[in-house]
Amino acid sequence: MKKGIITVIGKDKVGIIGKVCILLSENNVNILDISQTILQDYFNMLMIVDLDGNAISYNELVNKLEECGKNLGVQIKIQHEDIFTCMHRV
Amino acid sequence: MISHLEILETNKMIQEENLDIRTITMGIDLMDTATDNIDKLCNKIYDKIGFEAEKLVQTADDVALKYAIPIVNKRIAITPIALVAASTKSDSYVKIAKTLDKVSQEVGVNFIGGYSALVDKGYSESSKILIKSLPEALSETDRVCASVNVGSTRTGINMDVVHELGYRIKEIAKLTERRESIGCAKFVVFCNAPDDNPFMAGAFHGVGQSDTVIHVGVSGPGVVKRALMNVKGASFEQMCECIKRTSFKMTRAGQMIAQEVANNLNIPFGIIDLSLAPTPAIGDSVAEILEEMGLESAGAHGSTLALAILNDSVKKGGVMASSRVGGLSGAFIPVSEDHAMIKAAESGLLTLDKLEAMTCVCSVGLDMIAIPGDTPSSTISAIIGDEMAIGMINGKTTAVRIIPAVGKSVGDYVEFGGLLGQAPIMSVHKASAEKLMQRGGRIPAPIHSFKN
Q: Is the pLDDT of residue B231 over 90?
A: yes
pLDDT in tens, B407-420: 999 999 999 988 88
pLDDT at A39 over 80: no
- Closest partner residue to A46 (CB to CB) among B7, B9, B62 is B7
Strand partners, B216: B24, B272
Q: What is the pLDDT of residue B413?
A: 92
Residue B132 has pLDDT above 90, yes or no: yes
User: Which of A59, A62, A84 has the CB atom closest to B7's CB atom?
Assistant: A84
User: Residues of chain B with pLDDT > 70: what percent?
Assistant: 100
B66 vs A85: CB contact, 8 Å cut-off? no
Mean pLDDT of B436-447: 94
Instruction: Find the CB nearest A88 among B6, B66, B69.
Output: B6
Chain A nearest CA to B327, separation (Å): 21
CB contact (8 A) between residue B2 and residue A81: yes
pLDDT at B11 over 90: no
**Contact state of A88 with B249 under an 8 Å Cβ cutoff:** yes
ipTM of model: 0.87
First to last CA, chain B: 51
For the cut 90, the answer to whether the pLDDT of residue B7 exceeds it is no
A81 DSSP 8-state letter? T
The predicted pLDDT at position B296 comes to: 95
Whether pLDDT at A40 is above 80:
no
Per-residue pLDDT tens over the stretch B148-203: 999 999 999 999 999 999 999 999 999 999 999 999 999 999 999 998 999 999 99
Selecting from A5, A59, A62 the residue whose C-beta is nearest the C-beta of B7 gives A5
Kindly indicate the confidence band of residue B282, based on its pLDDT and cuts at 50, 70 and 90. confident
| List of chain B residues whose C-beta atoms are within 8 Å of the C-beta of residue A83 | 10, 67-69, 253, 256
For chains A and B, count residue pairs whose Cβ atoms are closer than 8 Å. 51
Name every chain B residue with its beta carbon within 8 A of the beta carbon of A86: 252-253, 255-256
Where b means 16+ CB within 10 Å and e means fewer, B347-380 reads eebbebebbbebbbbbbbbbbbbbbbbebbbbbb
Instruction: Give tens-digit pLDDT for B72-128.
Output: 999 999 999 999 999 999 999 999 999 999 999 999 999 999 999 999 999 999 999
Q: Which of residues 9-68 of A touch B (CB under 8 A)?
A: 35, 46, 58-59, 62
